Structure 1
Amino acid sequence: MRRDVTAWVAIFWLAIPLALWAQEPIDVVTIHEGGDPARVIDLVILGDGYTIDEQDRFTSDARQLLDSFFSLDILGNYRDFMNIHLVYLASNESGADHPNDGIYVDTALDATYGTTIPRLLTVNRTKAQTAAAYAPDMDEMLVIVNDSTYGGSGSTQLAVTYNGSAMTAVGVHEYGHSFAFLADEYGGNDCYGGSEPGEVNVTIATERETIPWAVWIDPDTPLTQPDGEPGTPNGTPGVGIFVGGRYYDRCIYRPQESCEMRALYQGFCAVCKEQFVKRIYTFTDPIEGWTPETESVSVERTSGTVSFAVETREPVTKLSHQWYLDGEAIEGATDTTLLLDVSRLEPGTYTVSVKVWDPTELVRNDPSGLLSSEHAWSLEVTSVICGFSPRGLRFAPLFFLLFLLPLACLRHRRERHPWEPTS
């Protein structure tokens, strides 16, 4: 009996947090559909601090933020690589907690300012994940908080923004953290003394050959200040190593003088844009399917043309395609479908392959080949002997080979080259 009571007590205490975390949304709506959730990025936008009567405001805020996202070349060009879902949550009160001012409100995701600094706006991650799970799928979450006080935050898979006048810019910046794993590029402290950072947009390297984004730096771009200290002088166009980043004013460097990760409304630098595109391609592949579905294809030489095709997900700027036969590019074969005339091929085994890649100028450094994909088939072309395929003759009885086959050959020859008497 004691064991049963203990079990029920355990279930009771486990059920309390689950009940708190599992607020059921009042609605879930997909407002942009790019494709199969298994092959695209599913971004779930949630609202916190919106009461039941303020859900229209959440819809308006979410659509405004989405329009801002798709106005960027890095996201607008790949809009069909995303599904966007809205999860509607009704809070009992509007706004967010402001502990420093003694303000506490009852909201669905516990939005709170001042977690470490006054403008840092966070939500309860577990509650957000539980609510986002009601969407068809979830790869990234973005929470809009119904509060006019400037603030936001970004961590893995979770971006948060307020809904005031700079909502769209803050949302884009925080998405740079949560989706692209970008570092803040503004300063604050004196000299960075740590090891090489993990984010792609900051470095301590000052030698041209060791700088992570060296492929973006023109040979004539200076990497030292007039006083001889490392760093590209301010005012220099393009990519270099500009002093300051990741909350430090010295001893660490960023790719360009201005960037959205340093100050709002500046647009992302070339290195940050590249990271966005590469992250998009970690969720999808340039080739999503192919026909024939089998890896080996066998056809008779008299079959005429054989069709090969790939299914791709195309950005606005389109992908490039090239078909090959035994490693040699087929002239003019640059579409998603190849019609191969096998009557021109000698009997034998060939390799038919296709390469698909994104030729975007936004990416220069892709050592893992995220932006390209290949698929190949083994093609067997067989000959026809007197109207019979050799595959059909392999196990023919001896009398057939010695007697019937010559007759069939004669008939086959007469059909192809009929004899007509001359007058």
Structure 2
Amino acid sequence: MVPSLLLAAGLASAAPGGGAPFAADFTGATLRVDLYHSGTSSEEHFAIRRLRVEGPWPGSRTRLIDTSNLGKYMVEVADLATNRVLYSRGFASIYGEWETTAEADREWGTFEEAVRVPEPRRPFQLRLRKRGPDGTFREIWRTSVDPRSRFVDRPAIQEADVTELMIGGDPARKVDLLVLGDGYTAAQRPKFLADARRALAALFAVEPFRSRKEDFNVRALFTPSPQPGITRPRAGIFRDTPLGTRYNAFDSERYVLTFDDHRWRDIAASAPYDVVAIMVNERKYGGGGIFNLYCTFAADSAFADYLFVHEFGHHIAGLADEYYTSDVAYEELPPIEVEPWEPNISALLPDGMPKWRALLSEGVPVPTPWDKETFEKESRARQERRRRLRAEGAPEEELERLFAEERSLFTAMLASERYAGKVGAFEGAGYRARGLYRPSTDCIMFTRDEVGFCPVCAAAIDRVIDGYTE
């Protein structure tokens, strides 16, 4: 508990944000609120662990109210005296994924979280909203904070090993990408930087990032690990790394996350950032990406370029996985009673048309026919081969060969579809074979094929980049 910092408050309605200049409401610094998020599949609670002032606010100083309607949660900052909303931001979280697993039905869980906001000049309400069953945001928690309180930590910015890889201008008008590494020893610093540069080359070779390259600043922050590699529980390998990344999140073998949210943010605080990519010094295929949290990827995987670009799509733009034949950890699949919030999947609600109707190709029917049955047959056969290889402890090289074979097959198969290259509504997306639709036959959010982002995904990324740069 933080004494005299939290003030009781009723559930008053929020007023829309005004147009006051940034400097009138904010100091120019970043305020980080470290939270504990606890609950089960049916209830959740929050508690503040710490409030900490970091460096200059790296985000936009003009687009402070989030109108994108993205994310499972939203944070709001409202002036305590006037109830005027000063800042809002949609996001997703590890807890938001965990609550859909079977474990959350059986027991309680507690997860570290943090929200970063521009530091207000005056006392404010911090509000958290969550998307309800009808798809709209509802307030689930609030507290009042006096930013001038002596209980707000104001540490000096720690010096760190930061390399500027690409600087395009003022952080307030750029997307600030921070690349972190986990599982790299001190002697592997050159490898860390080489891996970071290779990953960036892959990202900026793909549209829309190629066209928007000048809208980014990129920095790499190196923190050495005592041993190479990260924790791999199924292999009996455990590492104490600076960022705490590990495979097997939610018992999904290839899912790489860190649950030490406050620890990695303490490290990252030495550099400005809007988005974060964590490279893990491993060859084993794996990664993860959570909207407005971070993305991870195995830097030495034969599919590292794909992993980074795909996971970064989740992280920066809230793009959904479009695949639906792979094993996942989630028990509660996306609802089909309402339109999903992710910009690249649709339930064709409420009127039988996808949310990307403005981008539909002329003459393409909705739903759009494709050879779904053949694709599913081939995909599931390869899923079974993958499970067998994993169970047998096959070396990573064999799995990489399987992925390469799959890529070759599916690239040709999907490119031969009647509506290949068109924007339509193709059934099969978001882990569901029925009831959810994706915009194109192929996309980096659907397969490992080297096809880049479809027009709908690219447009969604463009909109997010605009929010940082305008």
Q: Same fold (TM over 0.5)?
A: yes
Distance 2:206 2:179 in 1: 18
**Equivalent in the alignment of 2:140:** none
- Superposition pairs for residues 134-149 of structure 1, below 5 Å? 134-135=270-271, 137-149=272-284
Q: Which amino acid aligns with 1:261?
A: M
Q: Which residue of 1 aligns with 2:419?
A: 236
For the structure 1 residues 243 and 210, does the alpha-carbon distance in structure 2 shift closer, same or farther, using more than 3 Å as the test? closer
Q: Distance in 2 between matches of 1:166 and 1:189?
A: 17
Residue identity matched to 2:313 = G
Report how far residue 125 of structure 1 moved. 2.7
Contact 2:177 2:217 in 1 (8 A): yes
- Residue 38 (structure 1) aligned with residue 172 (structure 2): yes
Q: What amino acid maps onto 1:210 in structure 2?
A: M
Q: Which amino acid aligns with 1:258?
A: D
Structure 1 counterpart of 2:433, one-letter code: D
CA contact (8 A) 1:241 1:255 kept: yes
**Structure 1 154/267 Cα, relative in aligned 2: closer, same or farther at 3 Å?**
same
Match of 1:125 in 2: 261
Correspondence for 1:248: 432
> Structure 1 residues 107, 24: closer, same or farther in 2, change over 3 A?
farther
Q: Tell me, in whole angstroms, the C-alpha distance in 2 between the residues paired with 1:174 and 1:129.
A: 19
Residue in 2 aligned with 1:176?
Answer: 313
Distance in 2 (alpha carbons) for counterparts of 1:161 and 1:219: 37
Q: Does 1:211 align with 2:354?
A: yes
Kindly indicate whether residue 184 of structure 2 is the aligned counterpart of residue 50 of structure 1: yes
Are 1:185 and 2:332 matched, yes or no? no
Cα 1:245–1:134 change in 2 (3 A) is same
Which residue in the other structure is 2:462 paired with?
A: 277
Change (3 A) 1:25 1:141: farther
1:114 is aligned to 248
Conservation of the 8 A alpha-carbon contact between 1:23 and 1:131: no
| Contact 2:178-2:221 within 8 A present in 1 as well | yes
AA in 2 matched with 1:235: R
The answer to whether the 8 A contact 2:181-2:223 is kept is yes
Q: Which residue of 2 aligns with 1:201?
A: 344
User: In structure 2, how many angstroms separate the alpha carbons of the residues matched to 1:225 and 1:175?
Assistant: 28
1:209 Cα offset (Å): 6.8
Q: Deviation at 1:29?
A: 1.3
User: What is the CA–CA distance in structure 1 between the aligned matches of 2:425 and 2:264, rounded to whole Å?
Assistant: 38
- Alpha-carbon distance between aligned partners in 2 of 1:275 and 1:77, rounded to the nearest angstrom: 14
Is the CA contact 1:206–1:223 (under 8 Å) kept in the aligned structure 2?
Answer: no
Gap change, CA 1:85 and 1:224, over 3 Å in 2: closer
Q: CA contact under 8 A between 2:157 and 2:269: conserved in structure 1? A: no
Cross-structure match for 1:83: 217
Mapped to 1, the partners of 2:241 and 2:326 lie a distance apart of 35
Distance in 2, Cα, partners of 1:36 & 1:226: 47
AA aligned to 2:285 is Y
| Secondary structure in structure 2 of the residue aligned to 1:239 | coil
Per the alignment, in what secondary structure is the counterpart of residue 129 of structure 1? helix
SS in 1 for 2:435: strand
Which residue of 2 is the match for residue 259 of structure 1? 443
1:128 to partner: Cα distance: 2.1
Q: Aligned to 1:74, what secondary structure does the other structure show?
A: coil
Deviations 1:85-134 (A, max 9, x none): 11000011111111122210121111100012100011233222221110
Counterpart contact for 1:23–1:108, Cα < 8 Å: no
1:143, 1:83 → 2: CA distance? 16
Separation of aligned partners in 2, 1:262 and 1:28:
34
Provide the rounded CA distance (Å) in 2 between the counterparts of 1:192 and 1:140: 25
Q: TM-score, with normalisation over the residues of structure 1?
A: 0.58
Distance 1:108 1:25 in 2: 16
Report if the CA contact (8 A) 1:25-1:90 is conserved: no
CA deviations over 1:3-40 (Å, ceiling 9, x no partner): xxxxxxxxxx99xx9xxxx9967511111011101111
Higher alpha-carbon deviation: 64-73 or 137-146: 64-73
Match of 1:70 among 194, 204, 229: 204
Which has the higher Rg, Structure 1 or Structure 2? 1
Q: CA deviation at 1:188?
A: 3.2
| Runs of at least 5 residues in structure 2 that lack an aligned partner in the other structure | 1-48, 51-111, 113-155, 328-332, 373-415
* Native 8 Å contact 1:180 1:276 kept in 2: yes
Q: Does 1:154 align with 2:289?
A: yes
- Report if the CA contact (8 A) 2:289-2:312 is conserved: yes
Three-state SS of the structure 2 residue aligned to 1:38 is helix
Report the AA paired with residue 423 of structure 2.
Answer: V
Distance 1:235 1:221 in 2: 10
Post-superposition Cα deviations, 1:194-226, rounded to whole Å, max 9, x if no partner, equal: 321100100110787732111121341122467
Distance 1:183 1:155, change over 3 A: same
| Aligned 8 A contact 2:344 2:438 in 1 | yes
Q: In structure 2, what is the equivalent of residue 291 of structure 1?
A: none
| Correspondence list, 1:361-372, <5 A | none
Q: Distance in 2 between matches of 1:115 and 1:217?
A: 37
Helix, strand or coil for the counterpart of 1:94? coil
1:73 and 1:266, CA in 2 relative to 1: closer, same or farther beyond 3 A?
Answer: closer
Q: For the Cα contact (< 8 Å) 2:157–2:270, is it kept in 1?
A: no
> Are 1:208 and 1:214, in contact at CA under 8 Å, matched by a contact in 2?
no
How has the CA–CA distance of structure 1 residues 225 and 85 changed in structure 2, closer, same or farther, with 3 Å as cutoff?
Answer: closer
C-alpha distance in 2, partners of 1:166/1:159? 15
Aligned to 2:238: 104
Tell me the number of residue pairs that the alignment of Structure 1 and Structure 2 aligns: 263
The answer to whether the aligner puts 1:166 opposite 2:303 as a matched pair is yes
Match of 1:268 among 433, 453, 459: 453
Highest RCO, 1 vs 2 (Cα 8 Å, sep ≥ 6): 2
Structure 2 counterparts to residues 411-422 of structure 1, below 5 A: none
CA distance in 1, matches of 2:236, 2:423: 46
Gaps of 5+ in 1: 1-12, 286-423
